[in-house]
């Protein structure tokens, strides 16, 4: 069913504010998304009515709070179609999840001379934790290149896979190029050699139905704030048999079973990976956000966003001097581009004064910039609450910039 975008926009209070006397046109959804009133209300209600630390209390509020937190875990399980809540660990975000896996998996399974495969289009959050782990373990990082359209070269991937490979960590969807990677194929190729695969879903779960069992992903991670939920909460999905064998990566309350000075035993899954007072309010807010987009229908969201992408791409391509980076056959509504030799910061600042929010710079994708031999791009990342009228304003803004800077 087609989305009622006008009605949806009323759910997002920020979208009705003005910036420099212009209505805001928010095109920075790849960095973070705006929050619907439903998520804001959940967080407020939680603080107003039920706030108490989870798991460790026997009093009423603690039980209520624990119930909301564990219900949120079940919402995430259903959202990803994981087979058990034991496979759903809450973290601080995608970065937190990847660091946890890189450390813990590395401790358990990676040794000197082993290899880890990532790709040239990874966000720094899916590069640096693996580099750190490889350095600690004496392992080597291997990188799958992408072609000029921004698509991973699978023949090169095939050449990199070997008996030395311990894990493959790939972004499901690129945050700069918008490329939707052929993750099922990537996983199939790794599994043929019994190599587990981590997918970085930070840019995927808000645009695609993700079914971890159907994908057969070994690890899948995402952030709450990019999926219309709160900041500071994220998800680490891991197959139970892998998580079971992996050691905890942080010590402290809740992840323990019994503590003595001689020895500590650890809690069961998923609590073994949840040390300290968790962000239970964030988990509750995330569950509301996931329910919100599930109710809208992720396929309908995608259909509308695809129409925005097509419209915006057509508009940008009609302007001589605009170069788009990321032309994959399968991509989501992310447009990275440059205008002639105008510095992206200059262009971004002019757009800002017109009330148009885009991102400028490397988008935590320095190797992608190096690939194209550029220092950064402008990036408009579109969400289901954006409109063609807003894209027209972006287009007019870009024409103005071209006139201003010659």
Residue numbers of the site for ligand PMP (CB under 6 A)?
Answer: 31, 93-95, 123, 125-126, 171, 175, 200, 202-203, 223, 364
Which residues does the annotation mark as catalytic?
364
Closer to ligand PMP by CB, 95 or 333: give it: 95
Give the closest residue to 148 by CA, choosing from 322, 324, 288: 324
267 secondary structure, DSSP code? P
What is the enclosing helix (H) or strand (E) of 294? helix 280-296
Report the nearest approach of ligand PMP to the CB of residue 203 (Å): 5
Report the nearest approach of ligand PMP to the CB of residue 30 (Å): 6
Closer to ligand PMP by CB, 40 or 364: give it: 364
Spell out the residues 6+ positions from residue 377 whose beta carbon is closer than 8 angstroms to its own: 176, 325, 336, 337, 338, 344, 360, 361, 363, 369
> What is d(CA 221, CA 100) in angstroms, rounded to the nearest whole number?
11
DSSP state letters, 139-154:
-EEEEE-B-TTS-B-H
Length, in residues, of the chain: 406
Closer to ligand PMP by CB, 57 or 367: give it: 367
Report the nearest approach of ligand PMP to the CB of residue 223 (Å): 3
- The answer to whether the beta carbons of residues 289 and 233 sit under 8 Å apart is no
Q: How far is CA 95 from CA 59, 91, 92, 222, 236, in A?
A: 34, 9, 8, 9, 10
Report the nearest approach of ligand PMP to the CB of residue 123 (Å): 3
- The answer to whether the beta carbons of residues 289 and 226 sit under 8 Å apart is no
Closer to ligand PMP by CB, 152 or 401: give it: 152
Report the nearest approach of ligand PMP to the CB of residue 182 (Å): 16
Closer to ligand PMP by CB, 273 or 395: give it: 273
- Provide φ and ψ at 168, rounded to 5°: -115, 130
């Amino acid at each position: 069913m087609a989305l009622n975008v006008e009605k949806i926009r009323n759910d997002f209070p920020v979208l009705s504010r003005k910036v420099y006397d212009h209505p805001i046109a928010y095109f920075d959804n790849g960095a973070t998304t705006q929050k619907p009133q439903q998520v804001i209300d959940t967080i407020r209600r939680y603080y107003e009515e039920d706030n108490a630390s989870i798991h460790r209390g026997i009093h009423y509020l603690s039980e209520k709070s624990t119930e909301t937190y564990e219900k949120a875990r079940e919402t995430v399980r259903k959202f990803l179609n994981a087979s058990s809540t034991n496979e759903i660990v809450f973290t601080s975000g995608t970065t937190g999840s990847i660091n946890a896996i890189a450390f813990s998996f590395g401790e358990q399974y990676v040794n000197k001379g082993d290899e880890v495969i990532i790709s040239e289009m990874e966000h720094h959050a899916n590069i640096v934790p693996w580099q750190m782990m490889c350095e600690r373990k004496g392992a080597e990082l291997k990188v799958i290149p992408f072609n000029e359209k921004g698509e991973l070269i699978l023949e090169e991937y095939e050449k990199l896979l070997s008996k030395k490979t311990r894990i493959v960590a790939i972004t499901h969807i690129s945050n700069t190029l918008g490329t939707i990677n052929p993750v099922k194929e990537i996983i199939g190729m790794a599994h043929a050699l019994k190599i587990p695969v981590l997918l970085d879903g930070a840019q995927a779960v808000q645009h695609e139905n993700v079914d971890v069992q159907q994908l057969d992903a070994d690890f899948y991670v995402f952030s709450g704030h990019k999926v219309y939920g709160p900041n500071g909460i994220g998800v680490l999905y891991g197959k139970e048999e892998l998580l079971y064998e992996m050691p905890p990566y942080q010590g402290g309350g809740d992840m323990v079973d019994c503590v003595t000075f001689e020895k500590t035993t650890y809690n069961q899954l998923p609590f073994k990976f949840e040390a300290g007072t968790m962000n239970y309010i964030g988990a509750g807010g995330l569950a509301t956000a996931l329910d919100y987009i599930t109710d809208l229908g992720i396929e309908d969201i995608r259909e509308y966003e695809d129409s925005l992408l097509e419209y915006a791409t057509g508009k940008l391509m009609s302007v001589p001097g605009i170069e788009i980076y990321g032309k994959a056959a399968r991509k989501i509504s992310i447009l990275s581009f440059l205008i002639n030799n105008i510095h992206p910061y200059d262009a971004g600042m002019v757009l800002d004064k017109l009330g148009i929010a885009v991102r400028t710079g490397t988008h935590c994708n320095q190797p992608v910039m190096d690939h194209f031999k550029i220092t950064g791009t402008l990036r408009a990342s579109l969400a289901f609450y954006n409109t063609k009228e807003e894209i027209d304003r972006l287009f007019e803004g870009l024409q103005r910039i071209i006139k201003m800077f010659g």
